[in-house]
Structure 1
């Protein structure tokens, strides 16, 4: 197998202009400024330190841009990972999260090497919408603790236990924290709406999350508000480079982490390729899904060495990059360098950042990431579509993403099989032009031949429909013609059904003739030896030739029979 490794950056460097460099640098600075509060907020919501989120954005973001298959993809921690990361940390601890992240990187790397990028697109949109909305609900629920200032050591990952814990602590709302959370939320919503007004477009230069973060941090520091901050909970953010190290590993631990790692890899692949596909439509380009998965894999292997965790393509930051004029991977690489500079220079100031404001930022992200309008449109679609979407949604919220995607895919496959089996038909063909030919008639006037036409796909979900040809009520023909001109696909179970039909007809002294074979069914019938059993002379190009062959096979009736 030939491994293809061709980052999009290599395609962008020839003909790269100074003007585009200026746009990429400006866009990279904008995205870097936006990524700082998001990286910290996502990390804290995931149950890890804000520094872990920042170094994830720096290391993984740089690798995804430099080695990825998209011109404009921005990588880093995302909201979709929050419930997964939180559950892993709660169950296995932060050290094992790093191992699970590296394992997911190996899985993503393998998916890219074995060119599985296109397979991600086979996931039905109903499943994607279901788990996306479910993740949004889970993220929102996880923010209730910090949004209200509840004094809870840690929320249990299980849904009903989480509800019970929140309900039991609801009377302990910390009112200064709630006031700051509501103020931050209101400011963020108002700011984002005002930034959409054409005459206030200059507000877009300072992203909403950064604006509210600066304002809330300054207010908290100047007024000495009695709210929890990054400094009070985490001791601030270390200034300087983290030590590169490998987390301890054992075979017992490795076995337990395979399932979480697969979940991270699956979600990372889906989100990054969805983000790249959305970006393609905006810049009229086409990403390389396999190269993108390779970059995602390398990023998730490298980030844990610096204390980072799972990363993927971020749709919102990628869209902002496009709006800001970024058109090459240089913009994403600059964004990582801007984050690095901010950590090295401004880290001491991060101690004053209030967790309530970061919680408000994540709440807005959760609300915006959900495609809530799809619930209103459910009545327009089939019951199958509704069942898949709602099942995936509720299982994501109540249990976990892996089970939700598995259930959604199983339901999708079952409904598809049922639909395909409904489209497969076997119909009796009238032979009116032969009803008066004595050679084709039994003494009672019934035809000595029966012709049937197959439509659609003869596969394991529809092979039972061949039973109609053996129905005693269909008469006792001496020749059965099977017209396959409308049969587009045949699988091995369908082949077995045809072999059984041939054997049953031969036991009755009846001859089977097939005609109108298309390429795929014909190829399988010849390769399997079915045609050898049937006889080449009983394979005809069309129905007319098959009827002529039937006439040759039917012996003339005796006078007493006639």
Structure 2
């Protein structure tokens, strides 16, 4: 969900793509245990594509997958070893900074908009918190949000020291959510939830070509040279990441 905001897409897209990618990683990984952690890095390169339409993002990710399969078939994975270590460190540091800065917009008052996709792109652009001119939320709500952040971070770090039966990230979400509904709201305050930022209407994912919720032509651009010119750079970047 967090990285769907960074990428500028509906949270349900992030949720569905996460479990689909997990299944694909398990089926095609060829290892007893696999970790697929590319979400954050890939999310950073997608907002500019999403600005033109989410259909372009779908095409870009499909092309990135094709490029990755081609690299695997040709055994070109060894090329990654040629990338200097400082480049990798610099990229990871830059990624952390961009993701961190994007969180500041949570502390700002979002103006109403009927275009959810565009709204998310504007809201969670990398340095939008310092350029969009929106007002900051009141100090009381900001204080409670900072409290949630501190509790969530502390739970995430400390819970694994108690037991590893439950992942620290899951425990942090449970504890922070429980505090919101058992403590913060009963005393008359509230903090924003995912629903406040964007509606989440879940359903089993259906390929966009046969999804009846919207017409294929309304979301997927024509696959021509112009579309290829838009998606080629982010597709190569996503595949490389």
Short-chain TM bin: 0.7 to 0.9
1:97 aligns with 2:48: no
The number of aligned residues is 217
Please list, as runs of the form range in 1=range in 2, the aligned pairs for 1:103-252 lying within 5 A after superposition.
Answer: 103-146=63-106, 148-151=107-110, 153=119, 154-155=122-123, 157=125, 162=128, 164-165=130-131, 168-169=133-134, 171-195=135-159, 197=161, 200=162, 202=163, 204-221=164-181, 223=185, 225-238=189-202, 240-246=203-209, 247-251=220-224, 252=226
Larger radius of gyration: 1
Runs of 4+ in 1 over 4 A off after TM superposition: 155-159
Work out whether residues 160 and 167 of structure 2, in 8 Å CA contact, stay in contact via their aligned partners in 1: no
Deviation string for 1:396-416 (max 9, x for gaps)?
Answer: xxxxxxxxxxxxxxxxxxxxx
Residue pair 1:81, 1:264 contacting (<8 A) in 2 also: yes
> How much does 1:58 deviate?
1.3
2:240 aligned with 1:266, yes or no? yes
SS of residue matched to 1:179: helix
Q: Which has the higher contact order (CA 8 A, sep 6+)?
A: 2
| Structure 1 residue 163, shift from structure 2 partner | 6.2
Q: Give SS of 2:131's match.
A: helix
Q: Distance in 1 between matches of 2:61 and 2:24?
A: 15
Q: 1:547 — aligned with what?
A: none
CA contact (8 A) 2:9 2:54 kept: yes
Partner residue of 2:10 out of 37, 40, 49: 49
Quick one: structure 1 residues 231 and 196, their matched pair in 2 at CA, closer, same or farther if it must change by over 3 Å?
closer
Distance 1:102 1:261, change over 3 A: same
- Matched residue, 1:307: none
Paired residues of 1:155 and 1:165 also in contact (CA < 8 A): no
Q: Deviations over 1:257-306 (max 9, x none)?
A: 11111111111xxxxxxxxxxxxxxxxxxxxxxxxxxxxxxxxxxxxxxx
Task: Describe the superposition over 1:112-133 as per-residue Cα deviations: whole angstroms up to 9, x where unpaired.
Answer: 1111011111111111001110
Q: For the structure 1 residues 214 and 237, does the alpha-carbon distance in structure 2 shift closer, same or farther, using more than 3 Å as the test?
A: farther
1:475-486 pair list within 5 angstroms: none
C-alpha distance 245-144 of structure 1, shift in aligned 2 (>3 A):
same
Q: TM-score, normalised by structure 2?
A: 0.78
- Structure 1 equivalent of residue 116 of structure 2: none
The 2-side partners of 1:136 and 1:228 are apart by 23
- Aligned in 2, Cα 1:50/1:150: closer, same or farther, shift over 3 Å? same
* Structure 2: runs of 5 or more not aligned: 112-118, 210-219
Question: Does the aligned pair in 1 maintain the 2:102–2:124 contact within 8 Å?
Answer: no
Tell me, in whole angstroms, the C-alpha distance in 2 between the residues paired with 1:52 and 1:76: 17
RMSD of the TM alignment (CA)? 2.6
